[in-house]
Amino acid sequence: MVHHSGLFVPPSFPAHSILKLVPGLALLSLGLLLSACGAASAPSPKARPSAVPTEPSLAPPRPGAYAALGASETYGVGAEPHTSGYAWLVARGLRVHYYVNVGIPGTTLSAGYDSELPRALTIRPILSSVFFGVNDILAGVTREAFLSDLSDLVGTLRRAHSRVLIIGMPDLSQVPAVRRTGIGGLRDLTLSWNRGMRRVAQRRGAVFLDLVGYDREIAAHPGYISPDGLHPSNAGYARLSQVVLQTIERRRLWRGA
């Protein structure tokens, strides 16, 4: 294993997924955002996760270890640099000792199950955040297939003794690039998918963070969305990280080393 400044880095991880920790970085306190995962080159909606990719280690989770799973907004698309994305800011705010960001721009949950989950489990995270959904909708994945995949992914993380935070989608009617797709009933669609995610969280012993309640804040702060009309800006990511950190603290999801 390789260690950098107290950070555990599995050798197979791509360099872009590793955070060089900066202790005590203050999070910006701008109003809230959210936006979506990237729509670029989403995998086929027919793809479904295989069986559990690897049996989680029987070793206990590692205190101070955080894994971020998701798509574009987890990676940090829209931020300059991308390490100003929400997951990177959350890692700094938690003062993590071990961190891996396995977010892949444009991915769906089904593809992320196979490509991201095994790498996330490598660090035995005490906390994992899971943020998918928009790419699945844009790719035509059904709600039922998505929720089945989500239940499998969260169940695997829970069997590995990781605490899991599922981040729901923001109100898609507030996201300009999604509105332009012509998909109708975006708010109702968001509410329906988020209700399903909440039920998965309840069944799997995870925590669900509902972002729809922040829709007025997003509408009042167009600067929370980057010029591409889809992803958060630096200000949006800063606010999102603030909301995530507040949820982690309130639900006592974090245990440092």
As a three-state string, the secondary structure of the chain is CEEECCEEECCCCCHHHCCCCCCCCCCCCCCCCCCCCCCCCCCCCCCCCCCCCCCCCCCCCEEEEEEEEECHHHHCCCCCCHHHCHHHHHHHHHCCCEEEECCCCCCCHHHHHHHCHHHHHHCCEEEEEEECCHHHHHCCCCHHHHHHHHHHHHHHHHHCCCEEEEECCCCHHHCHHHHCCCCCCHHHHHHHHHHHHHHHHHHHCCEEECCHHHHHHHHHCHHHECCCCCCECHHHHHHHHHHHHHHHHHCCCCCCC
Residue 257 in domain? no
Residue 140: inside a domain, yes or no?
yes
Quote the number of domains for the chain. Answer: 1
Residue 201 domain flag: yes
Q: Which domain holds residue 156?
A: 36-50+59-250
Does some domain include residue 183?
yes
Q: For position 64, what pLDDT does the model report?
A: 97
Q: How far is CA 72 from the centre of its chain?
A: 9
The set of residues, in sequence order, having a beta carbon less than 8 Å from that of 135 and lying 6+ positions away, is: 36, 37, 38, 39, 42, 71, 72, 106, 107, 108
Instruction: Kindly report whether the peptide bond that precedes residue 227 is cis, defined as omega within 30 degrees of 0.
Output: no
Q: What is the pLDDT of residue 18?
A: 35
Domain containing residue 239: CATH number: 3.40.50.1110
pLDDT tens over the chain, length 257 residues = 323 333 433 333 333 333 333 332 222 222 233 333 343 333 444 444 444 545 555 689 999 999 999 999 999 999 999 999 999 999 999 999 999 999 999 999 999 999 999 999 999 999 999 999 999 998 999 999 999 999 999 999 999 999 999 999 999 988 888 888 888 899 999 999 999 999 999 999 999 999 998 888 988 999 999 999 999 999 999 999 999 999 999 999 999 87
Residue 24 belongs to a domain: no
Residue 213 within any structural domain of the chain: yes
Radius of gyration of the chain from Cα atoms? 17
In a domain, 106, yes or no: yes
Residue of 31, 89, 75, 82 whose CA lies nearest to 224:
31
Residue 30 is assigned to a structural domain of this protein: no
